[in-house]
């Protein structure tokens, strides 16, 4: 999608610190980290929010969770634990309208979130 910041990251038009990439998924460091480890995992396909996912996307969403598991291992947060968050819409705090999973770790995370 033309004006989407994460589509631009996928295309390499905006730089990112890549953590993982395959043909369907990209993961990179969050520019404004909320924890010692804070990365984003996104489908390369532009999907605006969780509200827009369809049956066709089931495979990629499942694949993203497997990728998260591998990333947790790679970044050494698997044992200590981590949190995966997806914000959806205005009240959910979604700022970038391209679906993304936040992966947070490296410190004790409080619950519930604010
Ligand atoms: P959300 O509020 O769930 O939409 O989260 C958007 C996230 O994207 C925030 O944590 C931002 O810090 C992060 N972000 C925005 N622009 C960039 C960028 N160019 N590179 C990396 N992370 C970004
Ligand atoms: Zn996009």
Is the whole model's pTM more than 0.95, yes or no?
A: yes
Judge whether 16 lies within some domain. yes
Q: How many whole angstroms separate alpha carbon 5 and alpha carbon 31?
A: 12
Q: Distances from the Cα of 81 to the Cαs of 11, 55, 60, 61, 91, in angstroms?
A: 31, 30, 23, 21, 27
SS3 content of the chain, % helix, strand, coil (to 5): 30, 20, 50
Judge whether 37 lies within some domain. yes
Judge whether 112 lies within some domain. no
pLDDT tens, residue by residue, 50-99: 999 999 999 999 999 999 999 999 999 999 999 999 999 999 999 999 99
Q: Residue whose CA is closest, atom 3 of ligand 1?
A: 94
Range of the domain at 86: 5-105
Judge whether 111 lies within some domain. no
Q: Residue whose CA is closest, atom 12 of ligand 1?
A: 32
Judge whether 21 lies within some domain. yes
Judge whether 110 lies within some domain. no
- CATH number of the domain to which 68 belongs: 3.30.428.10
Q: Identify the bridge partners of residue 21 per DSSP, sorted by sequence position.
A: 26
pLDDT tens, residue by residue, 3-59: 999 999 999 999 999 999 999 999 999 999 999 999 999 999 999 999 999 999 999
Judge whether 54 lies within some domain. yes
Q: How many structural domains are present in the chain?
A: 1
Cα of 80 vs centre of ligand 1, distance in Å, is 24
87 lines ligand 1 (CB under 6 A): yes
| pLDDT-based confidence at residue 104 (cuts at 50, 70, 90) | very high
Q: Are 49 and 94 in contact (CB under 8 A)?
A: yes
């Amino acid at each position: 999608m033309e004006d989407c910041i994460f589509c631009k990251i996928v295309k390499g038009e905006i730089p990112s610190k890549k953590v993982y990439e395959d043909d369907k998924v990209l993961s990179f460091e969050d520019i404004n980290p909320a924890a010692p480890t804070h990365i984003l995992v996104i489908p390369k396909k532009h999907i605006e929010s969780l509200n827009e996912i369809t049956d066709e996307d089931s495979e990629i969403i499942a694949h993203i969770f497997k990728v998260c598991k591998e990333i947790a291992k790679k970044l050494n947060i698997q044992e200590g634990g981590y949190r995966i968050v997806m914000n959806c819409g205005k009240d959910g705090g979604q700022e970038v309208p391209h679906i993304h999973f936040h992966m947070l770790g490296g410190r004790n995370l409080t619950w519930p979130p604010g």
